[in-house]
Amino acid sequence: MTHARPSAQTAPRSPFSFVGRAGRAARALTTAASALALAVGALMVAPAPVLADDGVTTQDYFSYYHFDKAREKGYTGKGVTIAVIDGPVELSDPELAGANITDKSRCTIEASIENRYHGSEMAAILASQKYGVAPDATILSYQVRSTGDRSAGTCDDGPEQLDSFAALINNAIDDGAQIISVSHGSTDHGVALKMAIARAMSKGVIIVASVGNNGKDENDTHLSWWSGVVGVSAITTDGQFASYSSWGNGVTTSAVGGPLTVRDFDTGKTATTNGTSNSTALVAGMLALALQKWPNATPNQILQSLVHTGLNPNHEWNKYTGYGAIDGGALVNTDPSQYPDENPLAQKQGGSSPTPEEVQDYADGLIYLPTDMDRFPKSYIYRGTDEDIVTGLSYGIDIHLGTSPRYHRK
């Protein structure tokens, strides 16, 4: 099956550019052939040479996006906190030496061999002192189960799994994350996750998520399905839409998916991976650079800048690359204050959830769902006027009747 693709166009060069010439012409999209996807969203290729003692020291994307120029200008993600929801992060990895990473997981998970190192690879894309996008960012890691992993007995306490996406997103918000990077799929369309997304949007926390590696429209099986989430597809280093990359109405942007050089702990050699997981971490890192450069801009304005600097002709949206492959240089060098303080992803193509009204209701404390309140974060306070809501006390939520800010807005 083939799909119509926009023709290639060349984007203007930024004062310093993250994007190589191939990236600036990332509009010629090739046929999306189906490929086997791991639950964590990376495709492993055959092992390569034996790994040196100092580990992996460089990546193709580093020169492709000219991150050396970003570092020279002081754009390192300093002062920005990024949450990584993924597998465990092995802090002893040489690639992570010197990175500011803290494990904030609330429960214990025994990862399978297949899933043990994916989280470390995502953390390295973000914060490796050798090739990380944002080497001075603060990284908070939260472990989530993948196929083959098992809980050590503490993750299933209470009505909501402690390692569910809803719980982990709320934990990351509580811990001060400004960006949340998720390189996993999820078929959860439940109220708990919906409210976690609404909370993130109302608090201005940016969620960046992969769209999958099955080379098909699988929007409803990834967090990109939700409003506000930056869905990321993959391109190759020659600027083409990657054959393995999935697509759909939730796609916002795209970035290079590989090859990423990683350590193969089974063989002692290096291996290469490709996948939208890698693309997602790259986008999260570039958003961190923009937040560092423009600390007075709102997260909504940063997202506005992301969609207004995408490399599609006229930044027009399509289901393969969203508004276009990310142009990190333009993103960082464009003053976001010129854009409205409105989330451009509040309603995605074809409709999405939560709606802007639901997000505002959550922010104003006006949502009460008696059968689901035990799935709300403990920080939620009901501020409406329904006096029959005293049963909410049994769910552990606070009730401050009649105190919603909506009642005081002009």
Domains of the chain by start residue, with CATH: 21-338 (3.40.50.200), 367-408 (no CATH)
Give the pair of three-digit tokens for residue 274.
């490709």
pLDDT at 227: 97
Query: Length of the chain in residues, anyone?
Result: 410
Helix (H) or strand (E) holding 138: strand 138-143
Mean pLDDT of 51-55: 63
pLDDT mean across residues, the chain: 84
Confidence (pLDDT) at 41: 52
Given a cut of 50, whether residue 15 has pLDDT beyond it is no
Q: Which of 11-15, 113-117, 196-200 has the lowest mean pLDDT?
A: 11-15
Whose CA is closest to 84, among 179, 188, 201? 179
- The whole-model pTM stands at 0.88
Q: How far, in Å, are 99, 105, 108, 234 from residue 225 at the CA level?
A: 32, 25, 28, 17
In this prediction, residues 25-47 reach a mean pLDDT of 40
Instruction: Write out pLDDT tens, residues 289-329.
Output: 999 999 999 999 999 999 999 999 999 999 999 999 999 99
pLDDT at position 12: 32
pLDDT digits (tens, 9 = 90+) for 276-286: 999 999 999 99
Residue 332 to residues 75, 109, 247, 396, Cα–Cα distance (Å): 9, 37, 26, 42
Q: For residues 330 and 307, give the distance between their C-alpha atoms in angstroms, rounded to a whole number.
A: 11
What pLDDT score does 309 carry? 97
* 60 vs 42, residue with greater confidence: 60
